[in-house]
Amino acid sequence: MKFVGITLLATGLFSLPALAAGDAAAGQAKAAACAACHGAQGKVTVPMYPNLAGQNAMYLQHALQAYKKGERNGGQAEVMKAYVSGLSDDDIADLAAFYASLKP
């Protein structure tokens, strides 16, 4: 059984989507709009918003893409969708790299 997963991965039938590595410095320059809710250094003062500092970059990219595509709902999803709607894939990768680079 163990080898089935490896075989599928090796043959490309099961693989994770490739995500571009972002530029943390560029992400910091793009994060001004995020600071209102998530804090200038990714640490919040209002508990209803998540801390982003130290979060896994791949997770952040997936989350931002999901907001952009309307795949997340509830809570602040509509607010997030408005913020990310104009971001390119590179912008999202840069923001993810910036927040991942911060100390939690």
CA atoms within 13 A on the CB side of 62: 8
pLDDT one-digit tens code per residue, 36-83 = 999 999 999 999 999 999 999 999 999 999 999 999 998 899 999 999
- Label residue 20 by pLDDT band (50, 70, 90): low
Report the pLDDT value the prediction gives residue 5, as an integer from 0 to 100. 46
Exposed (0-12), middle (13-18) or buried (19+): which is 93, by Cβ within 10 Å? Answer: buried
**DSSP, res 3:** H
Which residues, other chains included, contact 59 with Cβ-Cβ below 8 Å and sequence gap of 6+? none
In a domain, residue 84? The reply is yes
Domain with residue 69: its CATH number is 1.10.760.10
* Digit-coded pLDDT (tens) for 22-37: 999 999 999 999 999 9
What is the number of structural domains in the chain? 1
Torsion sign (Cα): 72, 68, 99, 58: positive
Six-digit token pair at 68?
């952009």
Q: What is the pTM of this model?
A: 0.80
- Write out the two tokens for 50: 């998540």
In a domain, 39, yes or no: yes
pLDDT class for 19, splitting at 50, 70, 90? low
Q: Would 104 be classed as within a structural domain? A: no
Domain span at residue 27 reads 22-99
